[in-house]
Chains A and B, each alone.
Chain A
């Protein structure tokens, strides 16, 4: 199957692109990377990935995904599946580097408007948030990120992280409560 000419349009679903790639059209893979790489990088950053590891982690996420496409069940969103792989990669990395601290990153260029005071306040909130995330259990942290950062439903989160929607909801409520206290 060839990727349609308007491959970048939203009308071409991830499932179409996966089929195209499996049929030998590399543009399917290119388009999938284009759609999801930034979201994966943001998730990994929030989850505590070292910035020096970020490129490799994003790349490895897609490598593993494309090598195991036969394992992708079409009913789960492709992006959810990518988050699952990224989460496992990060977990493995932290296991290998056990003891290495999750270092809160300082993000420049926070989009808080042109008001320097507002930018500073947003920056401070984000710094506290990143620090707070580092204190949460892994599953709580990742559930929170998939919900708050990516806007995912509990069902999608459950599919990504191998839990149930009900458990994901409880994890999210716990995380929000804790972070609200830490950031306030």
Chain B
């Protein structure tokens, strides 16, 4: 290895205070144009970007970095919660099995029941009368699709009036 090669390896370290010239190296540097030029190149490089380094505000960078990391954590937590909820729903549906269909039992025990607690006190004739009323539409004579009086022609209205009068 030549003296100049050794100098090349050492210039940056001396410039950054990590090494020092020996007597002979200092002498070589003063007399060698190539090594002197190299010294100036490395010196310029050590200053390169100094203004950029000064312009950076570490406190601001730190705040931004921590805020972004926190936002990322929240996003991940939300995603996990969503996955956990979806998994819980799947497990629930899976363990409960299919919903019971309308079978013979459910027809008798479930379904719509009229509030007729006093039916037990009625005699056969009265019960028949109740059944006859049940045959008609629930909630009165009219159904949403049934024609109202306003839909009838005059002749029809006359017939209705006549039937009411007997």
Binding site for B on A (CB under 8 A): 26, 29-30, 33-34, 37-39, 41-46, 51, 54-55, 58-59, 62-63, 66-67, 105, 107-111, 122, 125-126, 129-130, 144-145, 147-151, 153, 169, 172-173, 176, 179-180, 183-184
**A33 engages B52 (CB within 8 Å):** no
A149 to B50, CA, bound (A): 10
- Within the complex, which residue of B18, B52, B62, B72 is in contact with A107, where a contact is CB–CB below 8 Å? B52
Tell whether, in the assembled complex, residue B45 and residue A149 are in contact, meaning their CB atoms are under 8 Å apart: yes
* With known contacts A38-B54, A107-B52, A144–B61 Cβ distance under 8 A: no
Which residues does chain B contribute within 8 Å of A180, judged by CB atoms? 34, 37-38, 41
In the complex, whether B59 has a CB less than 8 A from a CB of chain A is yes
* B45–A129 touching, CB < 8 Å: yes
**Among the listed A41, A66, A173, which residue makes an inter-chain contact with B52, where contact means beta carbons less than 8 Å apart?**
A41
Inter-chain CA distance A88–B61, complex, in Å, is 19
Ranked nearest first, the 9 interchain pairs of A and B with the lowest CB-CB distance are A151-B16, A45-B49, A42-B49, A148-B45, A38-B53, A45-B52, A33-B62, A42-B53, A107-B51
Nearest-CB distance from A68 to chain B (Å)? Answer: 12
Which of B53, B66, B68 has the most A CB atoms < 10 Å from its CB? B53
Q: Tell me which residues across on chain B come within 8 A of A172, comparing CB atoms.
A: 8
Q: Is there an interface contact between B52 and A130, defined as CB atoms closer than 8 Å? A: no
Chain B interfacial residues counted at CB < 8 A: 39
A66→B55 contact, CB < 8 A: no
* Residues of B bordering A, CB below 8 Å: 5, 8-9, 11-13, 15-18, 34, 37-38, 40-42, 44-56, 58-59, 61-62, 64-66, 68-69, 72
Residue of A nearest to B65 (CB): A62
Q: How far is the CA of A129 from the CA of B5 in the complex (A)?
A: 21
B49 to chain A, nearest CB (A): 3
Q: Is the CB of A151 within 8 A of B15?
A: yes
The CB with the most chain A CB atoms within 10 A, among B11, B16, B56, is that of B56
Q: Give which listed residue, B34, B48, B61, B68, contacts A37 with CB less than 8 A.
A: B61
Given A126-B44, A151-B13; A58-B56 close (CB under 8 Å): yes
Bound CA span A151–B61, Å: 24
CB of A79 to closest CB in B, whole Å: 13
Residues of A near B16 (CB, < 8 A) are 150-151
Tell me the minimal C-beta distance from B150 to chain A in angstroms: 74
The smallest beta-carbon distance between B90 and chain A, in angstroms, is: 31
- Taking A34-B62, A58-B61, A150-B16 as given, write out 19 further A-B residue pairs in contact, using a Cβ cutoff of 8 Å, ordered by the A residue number: A29-B66, A33-B58, A34-B59, A38-B56, A41-B55, A44-B52, A45-B48, A46-B45, A51-B52, A54-B55, A109-B51, A126-B44, A126-B47, A130-B48, A145-B48, A148-B15, A149-B46, A151-B18, A179-B45
